[in-house]
């Protein structure tokens, strides 16, 4: 199909199917989406993200696509959830989506049972076993992780926690059972463990931060100190965004090829103190190269990336802010990369460039890149490989 015909097709689809936009504002607080809509929104975004990642699209095609997808962003933040789902469905059809491209639904009913038991019954047994493990001493963080992971065993998958949409209850129950057994034997089942999994990390006296952690086998080899990437998602996302989306989880493949550890926390309310706790846990459980700790963030996460560069700069080798950010001006700030989308309607390129120029004016090392055909969200999957490559040219 020629480029101009493809562009006309998507424009016609959008004229028919996109509803008028209502942007989020101080005068308009969107009602929360219901369970069905939340699930549809998540699956719609994942489908488009995977389709885009698997297509060899021209810059003109990406320009049209980014503008269309960013309209759904305004619908989402404007509370028009049903309209956003309709819009994403139309984009997916134009991209040639077939039945195989639809993300699978979590198991339901009998398919969720574990050895004939409801997940909630297995969860209760695991939590009862954990009750005999000290939750305040050296195994505090591991205890909190196992407890949170047992909590994912629900009779009905919750759409308010996207991780429940991805796990398979039977395999998950078997893994958590092994983890609880290790804890009861006085061992930390997460120390030096390779793979990709979800857990919670205790921050302060009364807060737990959900994270996804990627530890490729080549990052946990004996005698090897691995670089660490802290990945911070944008508003409306969660700790699973970098691993399951943003370029069909390209950060996982990058971690594997580079032998790097990746930790992606829930960024809502993320603070410098939370960063300290998350990194401290990873450093206790893995051999981390303290001279190669990096932060990458998107949108809201890009703003948090700038905050960490200003407050924890002495601990960071470099940072990358995608479709967002703020001036990085402190004396010990690390080198920074700012990347903007030329047609981003959420955080326009001019704002990102202004933050980059203020960083340069403060005498800090920075680089600014702008991609004319990119928008606000789909830009992440496209630029992440180059951003990580840039980060890895720096060390403290």
Instruction: Please tell me the least confidently modeled range out of 135-139, 269-273, 349-353, 392-396.
Output: 135-139
DSSP character at residue 129: H
CA separation for the pair 80, 30 (Å, rounded): 8
pLDDT for res 111: 92
Is residue 231 within 8 A of residue 296, CB to CB? The reply is yes
CA separation for the pair 384, 257 (Å, rounded): 14
- The per-residue pLDDT for range 143-198, each reduced to its tens digit, is 999 999 999 999 999 877 889 988 999 999 999 999 999 999 999 999 999 999 99
For residues 49-71, average pLDDT: 96
pLDDT for res 21: 30
For residues 94-109, average pLDDT: 89
- CA-to-CA separations, 327 to 91, 107, 302, in angstroms, rounded: 35, 46, 11
Is residue 188 within 8 A of residue 144, CB to CB? The reply is no
CA separation for the pair 379, 168 (Å, rounded): 30
């Amino acid at each position: 199909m020629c480029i101009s015909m493809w562009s006309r097709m998507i424009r016609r689809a959008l004229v028919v199917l996109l509803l008028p936009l209502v942007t989020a504002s101080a005068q308009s607080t969107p009602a929360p989406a219901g369970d069905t809509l939340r699930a549809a929104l998540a699956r719609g975004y994942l489908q488009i993200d995977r389709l885009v990642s698997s297509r060899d699209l021209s810059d003109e095609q990406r320009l049209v696509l980014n503008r269309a997808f960013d309209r759904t962003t305004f619908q989402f933040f404007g509370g028009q959830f049903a309209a956003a789902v309709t819009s994403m469905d139309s984009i997916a059809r134009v991209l040639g989506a077939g039945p195989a491209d639809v993300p699978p639904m979590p198991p339901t009913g009998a398919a969720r049972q574990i050895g004939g038991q409801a997940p909630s019954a297995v969860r209760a047994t695991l939590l009862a076993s954990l009750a005999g493990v000290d939750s305040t001493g050296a195994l505090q963080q591991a205890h909190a992780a196992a407890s949170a992971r047992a909590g994912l065993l629900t009779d009905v998958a919750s759409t308010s926690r996207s991780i429940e949409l991805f796990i398979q209850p039977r395999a998950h129950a078997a893994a958590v059972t092994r983890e609880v057994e290790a804890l009861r034997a006085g061992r930390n089942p997460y120390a030096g463990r390779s793979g990709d999994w979800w857990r919670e990390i205790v921050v302060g006296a009364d807060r737990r931060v959900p994270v996804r952690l990627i530890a490729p086998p080549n990052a946990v080899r004996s005698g090897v100190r691995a670089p660490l990437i802290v990945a911070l998602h944008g508003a409306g996302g969660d700790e699973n965004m970098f691993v399951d989306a943003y370029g069909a989880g390209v950060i996982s493949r990058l971690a594997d090829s580079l032998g790097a550890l990746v930790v992606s926390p829930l960024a809502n309310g993320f603070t410098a103190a939370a960063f300290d706790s998350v990194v401290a846990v990873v450093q206790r459980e893995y051999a981390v190269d303290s001279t190669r700790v990096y932060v990458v963030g998107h949108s809201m996460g890009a703003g948090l990336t700038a905050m960490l560069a200003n407050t924890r700069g002495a601990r960071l080798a470099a940072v990358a802010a995608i479709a967002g950010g703020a001036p990085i001006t402190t004396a010990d700030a690390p080198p920074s990369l700012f990347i903007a989308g030329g047609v981003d309607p959420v955080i326009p390129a001019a704002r990102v460039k202004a933050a980059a120029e203020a960083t340069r004016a403060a005498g800090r090392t920075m680089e600014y890149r702008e991609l004319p055909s990119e928008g606000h969200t789909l830009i992440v999957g496209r630029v992440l490989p180059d951003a990580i490559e840039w980060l890895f040219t720096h060390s403290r």
